[in-house]
């Protein structure tokens, strides 16, 4: 196969060498080594990365302060991925097509003010694929004064159900109404649903739709990624007949051959929008991180290519992908299929899958930031354009690792300033130029605000009603485009509350 890369031992970053077509474009970001860099640290990416490991705090951290939040919603099993919907911009299909725009009106499922929250439950919607995990995205109105307790069976109809006077709506689920074949019957993934154990979400607010990254069989088996219309179904009128609106395993790669090899061979644990394709087609491209530490790029029209191979970010597979509770019991996350664990009353519950946050800085060059929960670090990967004319793709040029004592099982990240106005880049996972970002630490229930160079600006311990979260753990983070609010998902039981499943907490931005 004629690919952009050929494997070489001990050569350039990521162990690959670019095959040099005449049209190859290379623009490498300048990376400055910060204080406390450790040449022996990590080392998974070869010599170039070893020299670029940075300790973000240089041994000096700001004091951790408490931040008190209010509970927005409870009753959300496995609450993980979260985002505010945000405005879809003029010129894009969701804004300009009346049938799609109708579902973004006030009170509707993609009302810009509402939250999309991923769950490991179908809320009793019948499963489309019995061998795959349940999963759904809820659309939640966060403006109410009292906490919403999501009814566990409100999705029984299998449609975009609504409950509590519209405060909670089912956006999509692992159910027959939301399979790829509804609009794409000829796709090789026609039977796949838009979601199943959803672990990450990125919304192309500029010219596209909602994208979800999923681990339907757990982390150690193939993953899926979907492009979803406002009705919760995978993409209608998809430009790629083979893929339709759902990518899966190795069957939705670029045809007739990939520029860079890559697939969703393992669960998809993170995703971030990469803007319009560099090939000039104007089609959207998203990065997807898989549980083996590889990264792929998904082109709406041309399918999957790789970005970087397994081990680019630290693997979340197997027992070494589990994170320990304070008492050393490796039960907090699982890396494979649905392994239950027992809490203090002996009731079996499904442990949430480990996940990786992903965000993108687009200026002065493109940098993909990916959290590494087990390693308590963040990988920053610089992307440039390479490949033959007409089939240009994103390729890595350099990387660095951000380490800080402030990081404790970082499972998600969100921009402090969300890019919500650029027609090519607007997305919940895109940083405004020069913006800091938030890091969600599941290990100690803190949120870290960090500069892009790794400097820690502030640390906040999440509390509710002046009290710690007890055994509950924060599990995802989102920020509002107006810079005013932050939301975190949590799993487990908050002190003083009967709900044992999970939910959403709203906080003031800082």
Instruction: Annotate 33-64 with three-state secondary structure.
Output: CCCCCCCCCCCCCCHHHHCCCEECCCCCCCCE
Percentage, residues of the chain above pLDDT 90 = 80
3-state class of 255 per DSSP? coil
Query: Rounded to whole angstroms, how far apart are CA atoms 197 and 337?
Result: 11
Q: What are phi and psi of 216, to 5 degrees?
A: -65, -25
Q: What's the mean pLDDT when you consider all of the chain? A: 86
Give pLDDT, residue 351.
64
Give one word for 156, left, alpha or beta, with left for phi > 0 and alpha for psi -120 to 50: alpha
**CA-based nearest residue to 443, from 509, 341, 374, 340:** 374
| Span 221-226, average pLDDT | 98
Check pLDDT > 80 for residue 57. Answer: no
Query: Rounded to whole angstroms, how far apart are CA atoms 144 and 327?
Result: 37
Give pLDDT, residue 452.
98
Q: How confident is the model at residue 353 (pLDDT cuts 50, 70, 90)?
A: confident
**DSSP letter, residue 358:** E
| Span 29-34, average pLDDT | 33
pLDDT tens for 140-159 read: 999 999 999 999 999 999 99
Give pLDDT, residue 133.
98
Q: How confident is the model at residue 58 (pLDDT cuts 50, 70, 90)?
A: low
* Structural tokens at position 105: 């009106």
Query: Rounded to whole angstroms, how far apart are CA atoms 463 and 446?
Result: 9
Query: Rounded to whole angstroms, how far apart are CA atoms 118 and 195?
Result: 9
**What CA–CA distances, in Å, run from 373 to 215, 346, 403, 408?**
17, 27, 11, 7
Q: What architecture is domain 22-508?
A: 6 Propeller (2.120)
pLDDT tens for 245-254 read: 999 999 999 9
Q: How confident is the model at residue 480 (pLDDT cuts 50, 70, 90)?
A: very high
pTM: 0.88
In which residue are the tokens 């474009």 written? 25
pLDDT tens for 391-434 read: 999 999 999 999 999 999 999 999 999 999 999 999 999 999 99
Instruction: Give the DSSP per-residue string, 188-204.
Output: TTTT-BS-SSEEEEEEB
């Amino acid at each position: 196969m004629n690919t952009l890369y050929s494997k070489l031992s001990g050569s350039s970053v990521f162990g690959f060498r670019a095959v040099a077509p005449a049209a190859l474009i290379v623009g490498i970001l300048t990376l400055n080594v910060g204080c406390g860099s450790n040449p022996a640290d990590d080392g998974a990416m070869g010599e170039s990365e070893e020299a670029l490991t940075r300790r973000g705090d240089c041994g000096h951290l700001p004091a951790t302060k408490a931040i008190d939040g209010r509970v927005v919603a409870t009753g959300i099993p496995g609450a993980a991925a979260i985002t505010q919907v945000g405005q879809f911009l003029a010129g894009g299909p969701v804004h300009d097509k009346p049938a799609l725009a109708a579902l973004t009106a006030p009170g509707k499922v993609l009302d810009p003010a509402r939250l999309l929250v991923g769950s490991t439950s179908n809320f009793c919607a019948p499963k489309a694929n019995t061998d795959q995990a349940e999963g759904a995205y809820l659309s939640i109105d966060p403006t109410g004064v009292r906490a919403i307790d999501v009814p566990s069976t409100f999705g029984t109809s299998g449609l975009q159900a609504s409950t509590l006077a519209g405060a909670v709506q089912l956006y999509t689920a692992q159910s027959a109404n939301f399979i790829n074949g509804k609009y794409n019957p000829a796709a090789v993934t026609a039977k796949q649903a838009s979601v199943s154990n959803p672990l990450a979400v990125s919304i192309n607010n500029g010219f596209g739709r909602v994208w979800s990254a999923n681990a339907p069989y757990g982390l150690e088996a193939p993953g899926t990624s979907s492009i979803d219309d406002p009705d919760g179904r995978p993409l209608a009128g998809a430009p790629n007949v083979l893929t339709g609106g759902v990518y899966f395993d190795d069957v939705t790669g670029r045809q007739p051959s990939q520029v860079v090899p890559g697939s969703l061979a393992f669960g998809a644990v993170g995703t971030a929008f990469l803007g319009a394709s560099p090939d000039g087609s104007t089609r959207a491209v998203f990065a997807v991180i898989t549980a083996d530490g590889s990264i792929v790029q998904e082109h709406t029209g041309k399918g999957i290519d790789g970005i970087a191979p397994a081990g680019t970010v630290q693997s979340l597979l197997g027992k070494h992908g589990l994170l320990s509770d304070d008492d050393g019991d490796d039960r907090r996350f699982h890396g494979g299929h649905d392994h239950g664990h027992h809490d203090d009353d002996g009731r079996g519950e499904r442990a949430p899958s480990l996940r990786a946050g992903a965000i993108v800085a687009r200026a002065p060059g493109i940098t993909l930031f990916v959290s590494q929960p087990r390693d308590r670090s963040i990988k920053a990967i610089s992307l440039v354009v390479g490949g033959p004319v007409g089939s240009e793709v994103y390729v890595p040029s350099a990387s660095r690792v951000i380490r800080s004592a402030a990081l404790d099982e970082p499972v998600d990240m969100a921009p402090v300033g969300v890019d919500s106005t650029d027609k090519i880049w607007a997305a919940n996972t895109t940083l405004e130029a020069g913006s800091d970002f938030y890091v969600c630490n599941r290990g100690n229930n803190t949120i870290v605000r960090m500069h892009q160079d790794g400097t820690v600006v502030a640390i906040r311990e999440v509390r509710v009603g002046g009290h710690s979260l007890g055994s509950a753990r924060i599990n995802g983070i989102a920020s509002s485009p107006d810079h005013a609010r932050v939301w975190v998902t949590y799993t487990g039981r908050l002190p003083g509350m009967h709900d044992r499943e999970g939910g959403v907490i709203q906080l003031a931005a800082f």
